Homo-oligomer: A and B are copies of this chain.
Amino acid sequence: MASRRKVGNLLALAVLSAVVQRPMHPYEVASVLRSRGKGEDMEIKWGSLYTVVGNLAKHGFVEAVESERAGARPERTIYRITDAGRAELVDWASELVSTPQPEWPRFKAGLSVLAALEPDEALEMLRRRLHALDAGIADLRAALDRHRREVPRLFLVEDEYEIAVREAEAEWVRSLVGELSSGSFPGLEEWRRWHAAGGAPTGGAGQAGAPSPADRGEADR
C-alpha cells in the first residue's frame, strides 16, 4: 500500500530543499540546515540523516554523483537531486501548505490529561507556560528583526507564522489562567472535590450526570 510519500520523514523534505540548490554530501546538508536555523528546532538526528538520504537515493529522488576523496579524509559521497526529486519537493510542499492535518502538539496532549492534576497545580503549570511563552515570543521577534535585514521576507514567513501562533496560544492560556485564578471556571469545585476524595477524573465518563460518549457500550460485553 505504501504510505502516501515514499519517504515520509520531514527531514527528507529539508534534505531535498538543500540539495536542490547544489549537489552536496550529507554532512554538508546538515551544516546548511543548521546555518539556516533548522538545526536548533528540528534537532538533526545523525542516524536519521543517513537513513533518510539513503532512502531518497533508493527511490530515485537523489543520486550519488561522485565519491570525492579529498586529502586522505573519509570518503564523502556527494548527492545531486533528480527530476523526480524536484517534482517530489514541489508536490510535497504543495500538499503541506494546502492541506491542514490533525496534529497532536505536546501541549494539546497535556491539556487532554489536565484533569489528572489538582486544580492549583494545573494553574501553576499554566502560569509557568505563560511566562515561558512570553519570553519565547520576545526572542522570536528579536531574531526575526535581525534576520529581516539580511534575508528576503519570503524566507521568513515560517517565523512570522510561528510568532502569530504562539501569540494566540499565549492569549488563550492567559484567559484560562484568569478563569482558574478568579474561580470563575465552571466545575472548579467538583474538580477539587474529586481530587480530595482520591478519585482521578481523567475520562469524560462517569461523573456529574453525564452519560457521555464514553459509555458507548464497548465496556466488556
Residues in A lying within 8 Å of B, measured CB to CB: 10, 13-14, 16-18, 20-21, 28, 31-32, 35-38, 40-42, 70, 86, 89-90, 92-117, 121-122, 124-126, 128-129, 132-133, 136, 147, 150-155, 157-158, 160-162, 164-169, 171-172, 176, 185-187, 190-191, 200-208, 210-214, 216, 218-221
Given A116-B90, A117-B90, A187-B154, CB of A107 within 8 Å of CB of B161: yes
Smallest beta-carbon distance A197→chain B, Å = 14
Number of identical monomers bound together in the oligomeric complex: 2
Residue of B36, B110, B136, B203 touching A213 (CB-CB under 8 A): B36
Q: Which residues of B contact A172 (CB under 8 A)?
A: 160-161, 164-165
Interface of A is mostly: helix
Structural contact, B186 and A113, CB atoms closer than 8 A: no
Smallest beta-carbon distance A208→chain B, Å = 6
Q: Which residues of B contact A97 (CB under 8 A)?
A: 107, 110-111, 114, 117, 122, 125-126, 129
Q: Which residues of B contact A201 (CB under 8 A)?
A: 154
CA distance A203 to B93 in the complex (A): 14
CA distance A103 to B216 in the complex (A): 35
Structural contact, B129 and A203, CB atoms closer than 8 A: no
